Chains A and B, each alone.
Chain A
Amino acid sequence: METPNVLENIENFEINRENYDSYNPEDLKLKTKPGISLDVVKQISKDKEEPDWMLQKRIDGFNAFMELKMPQWGPSLKDLDLSKIHFYMKPNAKKNSKTWDEVPIDIKNTFEKLGIPEAERNALAGVGAQYDSEVVYHSLKKEIEDQGVIFLDCDEALKKYPELVKKYFMTTCITPRLHAFSALHAAFWSGGTFIYVPKGVKVKIPLQAYFRMNAKKGGQFEHTLIIADEDSEIHYIEGCSAPQYNENSLHAGCVEIHILKGARVRYSSIENWSKNTYNLNTKRANVQENGIIEWINGNLGSGITMLYPTSILIGENARSDFIGIAFAGKDQNQDTGSKVIHIGKNTKSTIESKSISKAGGITTYRGLVSIKKGAKNSTSNINCDTLMINNDSISNTYPYMDVKENTSEVAHEATVGKINGEQIFYLMSRGLDEKKATNMIVSGFIEPIVKELPLEYAVELNRLIELEMEGSLG
C-alpha cells in the first residue's frame, strides 16, 4: 500500500535531548592523564585509600586487558581511542551527601532537570547519584535502613564492609578475565552501587541510582554489586545520561547480581547516554535455587552499544526473565540481547526483545540460550520483534540456541516489519491525526516493556518516544 506522506514525515524526527545534552563547566578535584597505564591504576587506588587486595585486583585486570583481544564481532570499535579517554575524574563535591542542599548547585540542577530528586520524594526508597567518577549524593529511607538493608556507593561499601565486598566483587559472577572490557573495568572501576538485602527482607519500593557523565572525553566505570540474601526481594533502577560532545566517551560499567536461594531481584535500567558514548557494559546475575532475576533493559542512547545481560541459572528452579527495548536513530548502532546459561534442573528463562530502528540506525539482537547437560526439564522462550521506520535502517537478528539436554524445550520467534501504512490510515479514519496514530502504533509496540516499568519511568519512556514522533511532523 502506498503511504508516501505519512512515512516521509516519520523519517524527519529527531530525539529531543535538551535535558540530557546540556553540560556544566568542568570542576574536578582530580583528573588523571588521558589513556591507560599502570600508574593511573595505582593513582586511583591510592586516592581511594583502598586495601592491597583491591589494588592487586586492579593490577590483575590491567594485565588481563593487555593480553585480551578486543571483540572480533559486532559493531566496529575502531574509532574508540582509549589513549584520549580520561579514566578517572573526581568531581569537586562532597562524597555521598545526604541532602541535595549539600550538592554543588550546578550538579544539583543537572539532577533536578533529570527529575531525580522529584522521583525520590514521590516513589523511591533510596537514591544514589553519580557524577563522573564519584557518587555525590546517597540516601536511603530510614525504615528500609532499619531492616538491615545496605545501600551505599561501591567505594564506601569497600571501606565499611570489606569482607562482603571481597567475597562477591568480581569473583564468581563477572571475572576480570571474562573479556577485554571487564578487564578494563576491573582496573579502572570507580563508584557505583552496593546493595545488600538481608535474609527474608522484602523491599517493596524501588532503590535507584543515576549515573551522569559530565566531563569531556570521560570514562565512567561504575560498579554495581547487588547481593540478595535468601528469600529477599529488591527492585533496583538505574538511569544513565551524558551531555553531547564531539569527542568520544566510554562507559564500561559492570553489574554483578548475586541472587541467593529463593531471592528475587528486579533490575531496571534506562540508558540514554549521548551519541558520542560507547556503551560497552557487562551485566551478569548468578541465580541460586528458586531465585528469580528480572532484567528490564532500555537502550535509547549511545552511538555504539554492546550489551548482553546474562543470567547464570545455577540452582534448581532458578528463573530469568529479560525484557529489552532498543532504539537506534541516526548514527546509532544498538547491539543488544540477552544470554542465559541453564545449569540447574527445572530452570526457566524468557527473553522478550523489541527494537525500533530509524534514519539509518542499526539494531541487532544477539543472544544465546545454552542448556547445559544436567539442566533437566529446563525451558526457554525467546521472542524478538523489530520495527523499522526508514528505508535506510538496518535490523539484524542473531540468536544462538545450544541444547545439550534432551528433556528441555527451547523456542525462538522473531518478526521484522515496518510501521504499517494501513494501520495508520485505519486510525486516521477513526479520527486520529497522523501524529497520534503513529504514536499509538509505536506505543502499542513497546507496551509490553513499558508496563513492566514503575509508573514514573513508563511515563518518561513514553514521553521520550512521543518527543521523537513530535519532531516527525516538523
Chain B
Amino acid sequence: MTNRINNMILDNFKKKSMERIKNSKMPEFKYGLNILIRPEDFELDKIKIKQGNNSDKKNKINEEIKPFLTDEWDLDNNKVNYFNQANLNKITFIEIPKNTAQKEIYIDINTKDNIIHYIFIKAKENSNAKITINKSGNPFYASENIRIIAEKDVNLSILNIENFGVKTTNFEKRISFIGENSKIDWFDISIGSLYHRAETTSILKERNSEVQHTVIYLSKKEQKKDLFSSAIHISKETKSNLKAKGALKDYSKVLSRSIIKIEEGASDSDGYEKQDALILSENAEADAMPQLEIKNPNVKCSHGSTIGQIDKEKIFYLMSRGLDIEKAKKKIVEGYFNNTLEQIENVKIREKIKKIIGKKLK
C-alpha cells in the first residue's frame, strides 16, 4: 500500500515535469560573445530512456523522497532538466542518521545504457559522511542529478569521478541547501564524456554554513566541458570557495563559470573563486567567467583566474635534466594537478585518479 502511494508521488512528479517540457526553453549553450559550448547533434527527441524498476535495489522508495520532489528545487529549469525529471530511471536515496560519526558510501555507475540518475541525500543533524561516486561506461546519454539537504552541524564530503567514454553526452545538476554550521565539500574529477555540463548550486541558507568546491578537469580530442558552480550566500558568516583547475589538449574546449552571490543578509561572509586553465595544444580553447554579485559590503570576496600555457623555463629545466620535451610536459602537468589531488584522503582512489590522468596525458 505505502509503495503504491509513493509510486504515485513519483508518477505525479514525472507527469508534472513532462507537462513543463513543452513550455520550457532549451539551454542556449551560448555565453558572452562568441563562446559556444554545444553538444553536437543533440536532440532530446532522439534520446531513448529505458524505464525499469524505479527504485535502487538497496534503497526502497519511501516517504522520505517527498521533500526532494518539490518546486523548491526548480531553479531555472530548462527543457533538458524537465526531460530528465520526466524520464528519470534510477533513484538513490541516502539518509545519514543523526549523530553519525563517520559513514562512507560508494556509488558505482558503469553502464552502456542511457541513464538518468537522481541522488537524494538527507544529512541529519550532527552527521558526518564521505560519499564517492564513480561513473564510467559508454552510454549515449547520461544525467546525474544530486539534491542535498544538510541539516545542522553536518559535514559532507563528496568525491565525484566522471570518466564516461568519449561518446557520452552528460548533463549533471546538483543543488544543496546547507544548514547551520554545516559544510559540504565537493571534489569533482571530470575526464570523460564527449560533452559534459555540470551545474552546481550551493545555497548557504543558515548561519556559518560553508561550501568548498574543487574541480579538476582534463580534456582531449573533441571533448567539450561546460562547468558552472554558484554559491548563494543568504545568511551571516557563510563561506564559499569555488575552484576549477584543468588542462586542455588537442581540439578540446572548456568553459568554466562560477558566481558568488552575496545577499543582503549575508554579512561577515567570505567568498573566493579561482579558475586556472592550462592550454596544452594549439587548437584547444579555454574560456573563464568568474563572477561576483555583492549586495552586502561587510564581506571578503575575491576572485582570480589564469589561462595560459606551460612555463617554457620549466620545460627547459626538465629537458636539461635529460627528459625529452613530451615527457617534460607530462611531468609538469602531473605536478600541476598533484598538489590539488593530494587533498583526496583515500590513497587508493587518489593513486587511481593519478594513473587515469597520466594515461590520458600520453
Contact = CB atoms under 8 A, between A and B. Distances in A.
Contact of A391 (B279, B284, B298, B303): B298
Contact of B304 (A394, A400, A414): A414
Interface in A56-75: none
A408 B309 contact: yes
Contacts of A416: 292, 294, 297, 299-302
Contacts of B303: 397, 412-414
Contacts of B163: none
B294 A401 contact: no
A370 interface: yes
B307 interface: yes
Contacts of A386: 294
A399 interface: yes
A398 B294 contact: no
DSSP majority for the B interface?
strand
Contacts of B31: 400
What class of interface size applies to chain A in its complex with B? 20 to 34
A37 interface: no
Contact of A418 (B295, B298, B309): B298
Contacts of A415: 301-302
A402 B301 contact: no
B289 interface: yes
B297 A406 contact: no
Interface string A71-101: 0000000000000000000000000000000
B309 A417 contact: no
B1 interface: no
Interface string B244-285: 000000000000000000001001000000000101111111
Nearest to A385: B302
B287 A406 contact: no
B34 A412 contact: no
A389 B304 contact: no
Interface string A322-333: 000000000000
B52 interface: no
Contacts of A433: none
Q: Is the interface of A mostly helix, strand, loop or mixed?
A: strand
A390 B264 CA distance: 11
A410 B277 CA distance: 10
A391 B291 contact: no
B302 A413 contact: yes
B302 A406 contact: no
A411 interface: yes
Interface string B8-48: 00000000000000000000000111110000000000000
Interface of B: 31-35, 264, 267, 277, 279-309
20 contacts: A368-B32, A388-B294, A391-B297, A395-B293, A399-B305, A400-B31, A400-B33, A400-B287, A400-B288, A402-B34, A403-B279, A403-B287, A406-B284, A409-B307, A410-B305, A410-B307, A411-B308, A412-B304, A414-B292, A414-B302
Given A410-B305, A415-B301, 11 more contacts: A392-B264, A394-B295, A396-B292, A399-B291, A400-B33, A400-B35, A401-B305, A406-B281, A406-B283, A409-B307, A414-B290
Nearest 10 interchain pairs by C-beta: A388-B297, A406-B279, A409-B308, A400-B32, A418-B297, A397-B292, A415-B302, A410-B307, A416-B301, A401-B288
